[in-house]
Structure 1
Amino acid sequence: MLIFLRRRILSSALPLLVVILGVFFLARLTGDPANLYLPLSATPEMREAFSAQHGFDDPLVAQFGDYLAQLAQFDFGESLRTAQPADEAVLRAFPATLQLAAFTMLYAIVGAVLVGCLAAYRPNSLADRIASFLSATAASTPDFWFAIMGVLIFAVQLEWLPTSGTMGASAWVLPVVTLMIRPFGVLVQVVRGAMLSALSAPYIKVARAKGAGEARVVFGHALRNAAAPALTVAGDLTVGLVNGAVVVESIFGWPGIGKLMIDSILQRDFAVLQAAVLLTALTIFVLNILIDIGYALLDARVRQGALA
C-alpha cells in the first residue's frame, strides 16, 4: 500500500506544478492591479511606486521564482485588498465550501443508494422507469440554470427561501439541492447498474437459498459488492463539487472558496487567487488519494495490483 501511495503522490506532483504555473501567469492576464487600487488621477510615478512595492515591476519569470521561493517557506503572500496574509482569507472561506460539499454528497449518496437499490430490485417496473427518467434528467441539468430557476421560483416569486446567505437551515436548501441534483442523478444510474449485476450473481442465489431475508440480500450482500464502482464515481463527483462550486457560490452569495476566487479575479488580488487555487488543488489531490485507498480496501484485486 505504501508503494501504491508513493506512486500516486509522485504522479500527481507534475499536474500540481502545472496548476501553480498556470494560475500564476493567467492571473496576470486579467490586467494591471494599479488600475483598480489607484485613483484615476494617479501619476506615472505613483504607478511605478505601486508596482515596485508589490513586485510587479520585475519580469514575470523573476516574479514566479520569488513566488516559488515564498511557497517553499509556506508564505502565500499578502492580499492587495485587505493587506492581510492571503492564506488567512482562504482558510476562512474554505470550511464553508467543504461543509456545503459534505452535506451535498451525504444527501446525494443516501438518496441514490435507496433509489438505485429500489430500481434494481424490480427491474423494468414502474418505479425503475421513473427512477431512470428522473436520474437521467437530473444528471443532464446544468447547475447554473437550476440555481437561477430556484432563486426565481422559490425565493423571488414564492418567497419560501432566501436568495443568499448562510443564516438558518432554509438558506442551505437551494445551494445544497442545486449542487446535489447532478451527483444524485449520476449515482442513481451507477448504483442501479452495479446492483443489477450484483443481484444476478450466483452468491445472491445461494444467500436466498439459505433463507436470508430480502433486506439482508440487497443491503448486506449485493450492495457491499456494488459499492466499489459507486464509491469511485462518488469520489470523482465530490472532487467536482469542490472544484466546481464557483458558479453556485456566486449565485447564492455563499462565502466559500468559489466566491472568493471570483472576487479575487475581479479585484486582481493575485496572492489570494493563487492561494485559493493551490489549496483547492491540494484538497483534490488528497481526495483522490483517499478514493484510491477506499477502492483498494473494497476490492482485493486493486490491493493486489497496488502491492505488485
Structure 2
Amino acid sequence: MSLIDNVISGGGNPAPRPNLGALMKSFIGKRAITSAISLVGLIILVFFLSRLTGDPTDLYLPLTANQEARDNFRAIHGLDQPLIVQFGKYLTDLSHLDFGMSIRRAEPAIDAVLRGFEWTLWLAVITMTLVTGAALLIGSLAAFRVGGVFDRIATFFSLIGASAPDFWIAIVAIVIFSVNLGWVPTSGTGTFWHWIMPIGVLFIRPFGLILQVVRGSMISALSSAYVKTARAKGVKNGPIIFIHALRNALLPVITVIGDQAAALLNGAVIVETIFGFPGVGKLMIDAIMQRDFPVVLAAIFVTALAIFIMNIVIDLLYAFLDPRIRY
C-alpha cells in the first residue's frame, strides 16, 4: 500500500461495509417487538375500559328475566367469572387467535371484524390513492411558481380542508347533496354513487395536510444546486419537477402520508357511522353501544395491528428512497 493510500484509508484496512440484510432484519425485529408491547398494552387498556360500559345482561335480557336466566346468560358468555379470570382466559384464547363469539351476532367476533375491515380497507386505499396523487401533483405545481395565482388558490383551499372537521363536512354534504339536491344517497354501499360522499369527506383533510407538506418540501428541493444544474443543462420543467426534485422531496411527504393513512383508519369511525358505511369503524361503535365485548376487542386488535404494519412498511420505504437511512 502506498503512503497516499495508507493516509486515505486511515492507516489500516478499510472498514467492512455493513450487511444491509442483517441491518434490516434487526430493524424489523426491534420494531416488531416495540409494536407487540404497545399492542399488549392497548389490549389490556381496552379490555378493562370496555367493562366499564356495563353488564351486557341488562341490555340483552328483558327486565322481567329471572335470576336464573341472567345467570345462564352470564355463564354462556363467560361473564360469571371474576374480571381478572376473564382477562386471563381472554389472553389464553388470544394466543390461539381466538377472539370469542359475538354476543350480538352469535358468530366468531373475528369473522364480523374482518368483513368490516375489508370495507374500511377499500375505503382507505381508494381515498389515500386519490389524496396522494392529487396532493403530489398540485403541491408540486404550486411550489414551482411560489406566490402565483395557482399557488395562492391551492394554499387557500388546502388550509380550509386541513382545518375542517370530518363530522361537520359529512353533515353539510348530506344536507346539500342528498337532502337539497338529491344527487347522491345518504348511506349504503350498493352502487358507485354510495361511495362518493364517504370518499369525498375523508379526502378533504388529508389532502390539505399532505399538499402543504409537498409544497414546502418541493420549494426546498427546487432551490437546490442539482435543480439549478439541470436547468442550466436545458432540462425541461416537467422532468425537473417530477423526476429530479420530487424524489428528493418525498421523505417528509411519506411521513405525513403514513400518519394520515393511520388517521384515516381511525377517523373512518365517524364517517362510517354518519353514512351508514358497513366498515370496521361503524362495527366498533355499534359493538360498544351493544356491549359486544368480543367484537370491540377484535376490532381494536385488527385495526392496531394494521397501523403497526403500516408504520414498519413506511420505515422500510425510507431506506429504499434514501440509502443513507440504511446505515
Read off the aligned partner of 1:47 and give its amino acid letter: R
Q: Which runs of 5+ in 2 are unaligned?
A: 1-23
* TM-score normalised by L of structure 2: 0.91
Within 2, Cα distance between the matches of 1:29 and 1:267?
Answer: 13
- Please list, as runs of the form range in 1=range in 2, the aligned pairs for 1:134-153 lying within 5 A after superposition: 134-153=157-176
Other-structure match for 1:246: 269
Q: CA deviation at 1:298?
A: 0.9
Q: CA deviation at 1:105?
A: 0.5
Q: CA deviation at 1:221?
A: 0.4
Other-structure match for 1:59: 82
Asked if 1:115 is matched to 2:177, the reply is: no
Within 1, Cα distance between the matches of 2:76 and 2:146?
Answer: 68
| Aligned residue among 131, 156, 162 for 1:133 | 156
Within 2, Cα distance between the matches of 1:71 and 1:220?
Answer: 47
* Per-residue Cα deviation, 1:222-250 (whole angstroms, up to 9, x for no partner): 01111111111101100110122110000
| Aligned residue among 184, 198, 203 for 2:207 | 184
Asked if 1:277 is matched to 2:304, the reply is: no
Asked if 1:212 is matched to 2:231, the reply is: no
Read off the aligned partner of 1:219 and give its amino acid letter: F
Read off the aligned partner of 1:213 and give its amino acid letter: K
Other-structure match for 1:155: 178
Q: CA deviation at 1:170?
A: 1.2
Asked if 1:267 is matched to 2:296, the reply is: no
Q: CA deviation at 1:45?
A: 2.0
Other-structure match for 1:168: 191
Q: CA deviation at 1:301?
A: 2.3
Q: Which runs of 5+ in 1 are unaligned?
A: none
Other-structure match for 1:97: 120
Within 2, Cα distance between the matches of 1:14 and 1:48?
Answer: 36
Read off the aligned partner of 1:110 and give its amino acid letter: G
Read off the aligned partner of 2:325 and give its amino acid letter: V
Within 1, Cα distance between the matches of 2:165 and 2:210?
Answer: 16
Other-structure match for 1:286: 309
**Greater Rg over alpha carbons, structure:** 2
* Per-residue Cα deviation, 1:240-276 (whole angstroms, up to 9, x for no partner): 1012211000000000000000110111111111111
Asked if 1:14 is matched to 2:37, the reply is: yes
* TM-score normalised by L of structure 1: 0.97
Read off the aligned partner of 2:86 and give its amino acid letter: Q
Read off the aligned partner of 2:82 and give its amino acid letter: P
* Per-residue Cα deviation, 1:10-61 (whole angstroms, up to 9, x for no partner): 1212211111011111111111101111111011222122112211121111
Q: Percent identity?
A: 55
- Backbone CA RMSD of aligned residues: 0.9
Q: CA deviation at 1:296?
A: 1.6
